[in-house]
Amino acid sequence: MQNEQQHPEVKVHHRPIVRWTLLFAGTVFVGIGILGIFLPLLPTTVFFLIAAWCYARSSERLYDWLHHNRYFGKYIKNYRQGHGITLSGKIITIIILWGGILYSIFVTEMLAIRIVLVIIAVGVTIHVSVIPTHREP
């Protein structure tokens, strides 16, 4: 009953094989989400949200860790509550995105790939720009 009062979305499976599979998947998704911080074409938040779903069904401790993590916990919370992304988060995201895209453009010789990379970068930049900007109180 304590669990439902703290986190109504946490419903840990009783079958060990399901619980361990979800625990493993959640950990993989956290790893991919962390990679997404550094790789501009790989989304970040979506993988953290999937990991949170997996952890909510496998480990309340890891679910808490993910949501209270000092690096990305607040982004998950703000996104889930519809508050958006902080201005600094948007700026950092766009700088890393364009840095990675420009590097990829310079090391790629095919014009078609360069054009696709620019189109992707512009699309992601527009997407990040239209997400609501969260203002810290």
Rounded Cα gap, residues 59 and 135, in angstroms = 31
- Give the C-alpha separation, 137 to 134, whole Å: 9
pTM for the model stands at 0.59
66 vs 52: CA distance, rounded Å: 7
* pLDDT (mean) for 116-129: 89
Q: Is 13's pLDDT higher than 80?
A: no
Inform me whether the pLDDT recorded for 1 exceeds 60. no
Confidence band of 62 (pLDDT split at 50, 70, 90): very high
Q: What is the per-residue pLDDT across 72-103, written as a single tens digit (0 to 9) for each? A: 787 777 777 877 777 877 887 788 889 889 99
- Write down the domain spans for the chain: 1-81, 84-137
pLDDT at 7: 62
Site of tokens 């189109």: 119
CA torsion through residues 119, 124, 125, 127, sign: positive
* Region of residue 57 (phi > 0: left; psi between -120 and 50: alpha; otherwise: beta): alpha
As a whole number of angstroms, the distance between CA 83 and CA 74 comes to 11
Q: Is 134 helix (H, G, I), strand (E, B) or coil?
A: strand
- Residues of the chain above pLDDT 90, percent: 27
